[in-house]
Amino acid sequence: MTNATELFLDGLTGLYNRAYFLDRLSEAVEAAQEKNLALSLLLIDLDNLFLINHERGRPAGDLALQALADTLRRSAHEHETVARLSGDQFAMLLLGTSLVTATQFAQAIRRLVGRAHEVHPGFGAIDVCIGVSARPARGDWEAADLLQLAELRLISAKRSRLNPGAEQQVWAGPPDPSDDDATEEGGSDRE
């Protein structure tokens, strides 16, 4: 017999699936609007999954996906949502986190992911591209707006890999003048 919670989990990584994430995103936007909280979304794409699967076999690709999922899970706070949206794409939803803080967090994730192979030897180093979007604490954004902007910025991050010497694999954008972290207590809870 299947537990209702299991219906919302990705079988390979144990993270939430796309259906759960989209539902949670809508709820988070509503909560952020009601409480005047910032809300950030990270879309994370595992680089070269096709090549890993082709050159090392699907088990190595699965191991890379699991390593990324573990890194994201360990990096998230308890109240934050982490999900696997599709084959090589993940998402993190950060309530009370501004664009500036979310961008810094995304850069830290890239550094952690680059060391994931030390935890899971056998598939070599992995890397990610990340698109970051945010709803300022006093903004009027819908869930679809956040998702679409994060997707556009993820595409920009992927394109940056094609430029020799380009280090910018995290794309955000200029912060809104009122872009600040906010929690119900009034400050950022991200370290």
Q: What is the per-residue pLDDT for 157?
A: 86
Residue of 79 and 4 predicted with greater confidence: 79
Q: Transcribe 50-96 into DSSP letters.
A: HHHHHHH-HHHHHHHHHHHHHHHHHHS-TTSEEEE-SSSEEEEEEET
* Strand order from edge to edge, sheet including 81-84: 81-84, 89-95, 39-46, 128-135, 170-171
CA–CA distance, 168 with 157 (Å, rounded to integer): 7
Q: Is the pLDDT of residue 137 over 80?
A: no
Q: What is the per-residue pLDDT for 151?
A: 93
Q: Is the pLDDT of residue 27 over 80?
A: yes
Confidence of residue 55 (pLDDT cuts 50, 70, 90): confident
Q: What is the per-residue pLDDT for 184?
A: 43
Contact assessment for residue 190 and residue 94, using Cβ atoms and an 8 Å cutoff: yes
Read off the pLDDT of residues 70-79 as tens digits, 9 standing for 90 and up: 999 999 998 8
Q: What is the per-residue pLDDT for 51?
A: 82
Q: Is the pLDDT of residue 2 over 60?
A: no
Share of the chain above pLDDT 70, in %: 77
CA–CA distance, 19 with 80 (Å, rounded to integer): 16
Least confident range of 8-22, 66-80, 125-139, 166-180: 166-180
Label the pairing between strands 89-95 and 128-135.
unpaired
Read off the pLDDT of residues 99-132 as tens digits, 9 standing for 90 and up: 999 999 999 998 888 765 555 556 567 788 999 9
Contact assessment for residue 33 and residue 90, using Cβ atoms and an 8 Å cutoff: no
CA–CA distance, 54 with 60 (Å, rounded to integer): 10
Computed over every residue of the chain, the mean pLDDT equals 82
- DSSP character at residue 9: B
Share of the chain above pLDDT 90, in %: 45
Q: What is the per-residue pLDDT for 126?
A: 78
Confidence of residue 1 (pLDDT cuts 50, 70, 90): very low
Confidence of residue 136 (pLDDT cuts 50, 70, 90): confident
CA–CA distance, 179 with 169 (Å, rounded to integer): 22
Q: What is the per-residue pLDDT for 101?
A: 93
Residue of 22 and 114 predicted with greater confidence: 22
- Taking phi over 0 as left and psi of -120 to 50 as alpha, with beta for the rest, 54 belongs to alpha
